[in-house]
Amino acid sequence: MVGTDGSENAERAVEKIRDMCERWNHEAVVFHSYEHHMLPKNIPISVPISYGSSYTIPPSEYNRIR
């Protein structure tokens, strides 16, 4: 497994791994991860509840999920 962030150094690492895999007939997994903003801190809900119309994810859980 090789991680990449798209930088020149990461691209060189991917090239090196690719060459090694070809030489030794192995496989590699390339992993790329980034922070996205698809998970809102407040989630609207359609059923009214006593404390409002949205659920707020507790900060500790939000940070863990991120």
- Per-residue pLDDT in tens (0 to 9) along the chain, 66 residues: 888 888 899 899 999 999 999 999 999 998 887 666 666 666 665 566 666 656 667 778 777 776
Compute the radius of gyration of the chain from its Cα atoms.
Answer: 21
Amino acid, res. 46? S
Phi, psi of 25 (to 5 degrees): 55, 50
Residues spanned by the domain of 57: 2-65
Q: What is the pLDDT of residue 36?
A: 62
Whole-prediction pTM: 0.48
Total count of domains within the chain? 1
Look at strands 30-31 and 42-49 and give their pairing: unpaired
Burial class, 32, CB count within 10 angstroms (exposed 0-12 / middle 13-18 / buried 19+) = exposed
